Structure 1
Amino acid sequence: MRRRRSHRPSRPRRHRPAADAANDLPVVRASSPGDLLSLIPYLLGFQPEESLVMLAFAGKRVVFTARVDLPVPANAFEHGTAELVAEHFAGLARHHGADGVLLAAFTRHEAEGAAVLGVAQEVCGGLLLSAWVSDGQTFCAVHHGVAGPAEPYDPQTSAAVATAVYEGMTVLPSRDDVAASAAADPPERRTRVKELLGRFPARQMTEAQERLDELVDGYAELRLLSEDEIAELLVLCRDLAVRDRAWTVMSRDNADVALDFWGQVARAAPLDDSAPAVSLMGMAAWVSGNGALMLCCADRVAVEHPRYSMGQLLMDLAVSSVHPKEWEEIRHHLTDDDHGVDHSAA
């Protein structure tokens, strides 16, 4: 099949996730607390604000990163909420084979951040390597819920950040910017696509899957989809078996292209047909290592189609923090002749 000309999308591309040599991802070495704090936005894909972040380590290697919103009011962590968050973080770290964790509270409210870290210190015990509270320019080591003297750090002059940028890791200004990359296009474009849907009648299963294969082309390279192609893909993916075929073609090698592909479809999709495309975008985000974008897609599906099963699966993956390296085993299971994909719910 003749390849279409590559297209470099103007929308933000995914960040490259935490260093993992086993998965051909960049190795970035940090030599100071300031380096580690400066790298956290690159591990998340966005600048954290009012956030509690965990880095889980196996030896000196980051194996997992997690983040939750950090409530500002002092009483927001009553009724054991702080303990539950810390227990969840510690459980995730152990599940991913970590032998130590670093906790960082990014906040403008030092005392509140230190108090949360103090609770987490008690829960994590010997698993905790360090706990810091940071405003993005200074940090304080926290012991027993009390912040120590402030020390400056500068992400702009960090050698670790320079290496991360050279390796292609990117960072967006905020989580809202991540969410914007999964948001719907302006109404007029979605209306145009909706008007095109009637041009594409439903096909028989085999024919529909063959046509999907032609459009997807194995996620071989970036390209700009026409509105006709987007409309046809939306019609094809009304069939759950066809949708799942698009899903199982994804791999860790082509996930970047799959993310761009389904991102174009998801953003242009009319509300009634958005669920499959947004879910596939979320799955591609997960496989590519962009957990923040995956969660934003899950949030959009939950709002637009709260009973859609693949959206619920996205949320389960996010809450359980399943590592994307597990996708290949799941994919082989889904495509095994003896194990069909469950289509009992949309």
Structure 2
Amino acid sequence: MLESAFPRRQGGADQLLGMVPYLLGYHPTEALVAIIKRPDRPLPRVVSLPLSEPSTVLLNHLMLQIPEKASGIVLIGYGPAAHRAKIAAVSEVLQLLAPVVGRFLYTDGILTCLTPECTCSAAGGVAVDPRSTRLAAELAMTGRVALPSRQDVHTLVAADPTAQAATEAALDSLDTAVASGPADLASLMVPAPAGDRLTDEQVARLCLALHDQDNLVTAWHRTRGRRRHLELWLDVTRRAPEQHAGAPAALVVWSAWCRGQEALAEAALDRARAVAPDHGFTRIVGYLVDAHLPAHRLRWPLTPRLDAPSSGNHS
């Protein structure tokens, strides 16, 4: 089923595997990856789950991820051959929701098609190096990142002590008596579309502005799944002093979640909870990420209060 899972005009097995890490943000290991294709989107949604989880857990998660307009699903297991039966069982149930156009196992550099009686080029196993593919290079050129592992995603939201010190110095020189309103906050978000990096003073002003709930709601409503917004809040999260990092980290969670980048959303959520565990917006985005709820399952617009009481300890 290799050819139907990935059209010839786009490439073969190497292109399929080369695409996955750049859509996830890291190179998966010991994982079950679902590539969910939609006719109205240029790139598929990619979901990664621990391959060691029971089949029922994998299915409960994956069934939430499949939109009504899904045109096909490709499953790839990254791990030992002992998981072949699990991949097959999961694919049989998912077939009831959307066409499963490919099921594969990638072990020790060999991609094997698991579709019974299939005669595609991967039926007997084919050697693939996903790191050296044309499609991987093209995705990298668009700004996509493929880190060595899921754990390495945390480096994207880690604090930069040197940048934090520069922001702290800028904060000391600001006139805190002049409050920033939603209009000022919106103007600070303008440089992002052009790819410009905020100055230390602008980051400092954002840090102060986001402590105000009205400003945070404005930033939230203006932030969706656009890459430029994700890059903006990642930059601010790394440069914000710890006492100011909670709100921008939570905005990274929201932006990554909207884009379907679950690993990055989880890493940013860890940072947000570490610096501001009781923050209302952190609790809201934490519910979404912890439930593995995809963005297409929610109705828009979202208008919950950010100061809603917590129903549990997420620190």
Mapped partners of 1:28, 1:307: distance in 2: 51
Mapped partners of 2:278, 2:143: distance in 1: 37
Partner of 2:50: 69
Q: Tell me, yes or no, if structure 1 residue 47 matches structure 2 residue 7.
A: no
Partner of 2:305: 342
Partner of 1:268: 239
* Closer, same or farther: CA 193–42 of 1 in aligned 2, 3 Å: closer
Of 69, 72, 75, 1:100 maps to 72
For 1:210, give the aligned amino acid: A
Mapped partners of 1:67, 1:171: distance in 2: 14
* Closer, same or farther: CA 29–53 of 1 in aligned 2, 3 Å: farther
Specify the SS of the correspondent of 2:176: coil
Partner of 1:124: 94
Partner of 2:227: 256
- Detail structure 1 runs of 4+ shifted over 6 Å in the superposition: none
Q: Is the 8 A contact 1:28 1:160 kept in 2?
A: no
* TM superposition score normalised by structure 1: 0.70
* Closer, same or farther: CA 59–210 of 1 in aligned 2, 3 Å: closer
Partner of 1:284: 255
* Closer, same or farther: CA 161–222 of 1 in aligned 2, 3 Å: closer
Partner of 2:60: 87
Q: Is the 8 A contact 1:56 1:100 kept in 2?
A: yes
Mapped partners of 1:65, 1:131: distance in 2: 14
Of 125, 135, 150, 2:125 maps to 150
Query: Cα deviation per residue 1:184-221 (whole Å; 9 max; x = unaligned)?
Result: 113x54355346545442555xx533332332237442
* Unpaired runs of at least 5, structure 2: 1-6, 117-121, 310-315
**Deviation (angstroms), 1:177:** 3.2
* Closer, same or farther: CA 201–70 of 1 in aligned 2, 3 Å: same
Partner of 1:308: 279
* Closer, same or farther: CA 28–235 of 1 in aligned 2, 3 Å: farther
For 2:205, give the aligned amino acid: E
Q: Is the 8 A contact 1:182 1:296 kept in 2?
A: yes
For 1:151, give the aligned amino acid: V
* Closer, same or farther: CA 156–263 of 1 in aligned 2, 3 Å: closer
Mapped partners of 1:130, 1:118: distance in 2: 10
More helix as a share of residues: 1
Specify the SS of the correspondent of 1:53: strand
* Closer, same or farther: CA 314–37 of 1 in aligned 2, 3 Å: same
Mapped partners of 1:180, 1:294: distance in 2: 13
**Deviation (angstroms), 1:138:** 0.9
Of 190, 202, 225, 2:164 maps to 190
* Closer, same or farther: CA 167–226 of 1 in aligned 2, 3 Å: closer
Q: Tell me, yes or no, if structure 1 residue 114 matches structure 2 residue 113.
A: no
Query: Cα deviation per residue 1:269-289 (whole Å; 9 max; x = unaligned)?
Result: 222221111112333334456
* Closer, same or farther: CA 214–156 of 1 in aligned 2, 3 Å: closer
Q: Is the 8 A contact 1:106 1:136 kept in 2?
A: no
Partner of 2:199: 226
**Deviation (angstroms), 1:64:** 2.3
Mapped partners of 1:70, 1:200: distance in 2: 53
Mapped partners of 1:165, 1:193: distance in 2: 30
* Unpaired runs of at least 5, structure 1: 1-26, 72-76, 335-339
Partner of 1:137: 109
Q: State the identity as a percent.
A: 23
Map 1:241-252 → 2, pairs under 5 A: 241-250=214-223
How many equivalent residue pairs? 292
Mapped partners of 1:167, 1:212: distance in 2: 27
Q: Is the 8 A contact 2:284 2:306 kept in 1?
A: no
Q: Is the 8 A contact 1:83 1:123 kept in 2?
A: no
For 1:137, give the aligned amino acid: G
